[in-house]
Structure 1
């Protein structure tokens, strides 16, 4: 299949690019330099010129705190532009593979009692970022195009900007580092997401595009807190001879104010993707080892 990837310079786009060297699919990678998805006419012309069988949209406004004051920009990229791509896909019989987030959910312990969120549970985003991503999902669903929406969480890697790379940077600059310990989720290594996507692409090709559509969750196995995630990063950093702080200090969300509210519990269940596509949730701890190794050995 011919596959067009938007957001090729981000974490996931970079991971897909690296993981598709030996793929049987033909990939076209586009960053904003080649095509600004916020521009409808440019996007439509670019897509029609590429003439893909499937589009993977990794492009997104992901600065969660900045979105609170840049609501229009976040909405344009995460919602309106996504709706435009979906509309073009529908009119031209192109499959859309869209990436979304755990932040479409709130904590909801009142209803779910810290049970991992399934695809059937009702989203209720707390932040502007989460709302714009949910609106983008709905734009895809309502467009009439054939689609897969893949929600993931706490994405990290050796690519781009992410929590792991921030921790490594701060660990070399600060003796004491505070990290929230009451927000729980599942870290996910970007190359593992890329592998899951490629596995689904193979299934779509092998079934001659007769595939199970809809929303799927995919994350690393085992939930953790940001504090314990940071602790695991620095434990591995010691082994791989990175600098690390003398003290890693847990702190409550209430004592660490941010522009955007974040869910205290946003663990996603990956059971559905296992059921339909036989894709397992990999160990995020192994992802930490690989990411640090690749940072050390670019």
Structure 2
């Protein structure tokens, strides 16, 4: 790690990955974490003012509108946060010479491929949320400058609404669940993502950082369905009392369509930033260790969150 001299602006610091980044980024320098009251991402002038006042060397945007179904009824709000705000951040970063690290999603792909998506595959979003995320990517790329876009997938953590928390909450109310088995992807623990992001940021701030701008996929290795993920979660948390049955996506009427296959190939990021290959199951193991849950021992690790 370099001397802790960088000035870092972290947006979305109360979210799943943002909360982890507060700690992992600290060795790189001073981490500034203005909240929504100080920086409303729907207000371009608020973004510009924060960048001007802090003068960061690095901007990490971990904020997003992530309600996939909700975006269908709130397209303007989703676009303001997911598309317009990244453009303003890219412009501000270019003006000040800062690096911009921005998160995007596996959902920018339509899911028709049956081999892991690479950065060379053309995005084709199929719902409002994913279209706004793709528009955010395109806006950053159009501005150019010192930026890295990190596409990730199926985020979970101890915080906020996510699949792991939802499954364990439902398990407290029933002994039988049906979970979709025809959507495939890569679960990603926010703690692992924050660690990998910090390694990337450290590289960007180094002498050879300028050669590494671009878009990268950042997820673990392997793949599973939501059904497979649910079974792995219940096994980790000792919930053998819950029966999980696979169903097709047709069993659930959702406002937004979901792509059937969004497995990401992250080999480019691993090669560029010397990141280890980590399976999604190993990430789940570490997540459970982090929150103090011994495998096979049922606990309530989310009760106070």
Question: Normalising to structure 2: TM-score of the pair?
Answer: 0.90
Structure 2 partner of 1:48: 52
Task: Give distance in 1, aligned partners of 2:174 and 2:34.
Answer: 37
Which residue number in structure 1 is paired with residue 108 of structure 2?
104
- CA drift of 1:143 comes to 1.1
CA distance in 2, matches of 1:94, 1:202: 13
Alignment of 1:1-298 (within 5 A): 1-21=6-26, 23-109=27-113, 114-207=114-207, 209-238=209-238, 246-293=242-289, 294=291, 296=301
Distance 1:292 1:144 in 2: 39
Q: Quick one: distance in 2 between partners of 1:254 and 1:229? A: 19
Deviation by residue 1:139-159 (Cα, 9 ceiling, x = unmatched): 000113210000000011112
Unaligned runs of 5+ in 2: 1-5, 292-299
1:51-93 residue CA offsets vs partner (Å, 9 max, x unmatched): 0011000110000011111111111110011111111112221
SS of aligned partner of 2:59: strand
Q: Is the 8 A contact 2:99 2:204 kept in 1?
A: no
Aligned-residue Cα RMSD (Å) equals 1.7
Measured in 1, the distance between the counterparts of 2:249 and 2:124 equals 19
Structure 1: any 5+ residue segments left out of the alignment?
none
SS for the counterpart of 2:117 is coil
Cα distance, 1:39–1:244 mapped onto 2, change above 3 Å:
farther
Which stretch shows the higher mean deviation, 167-176 or 145-154?
Answer: 167-176
| Number of residue equivalences | 289
- Aligned counterparts of 1:256 and 1:69: Cα–Cα separation in 2: 18
CA distance in 2, matches of 1:173, 1:17: 34
Q: CA deviation at 1:289?
A: 3.1
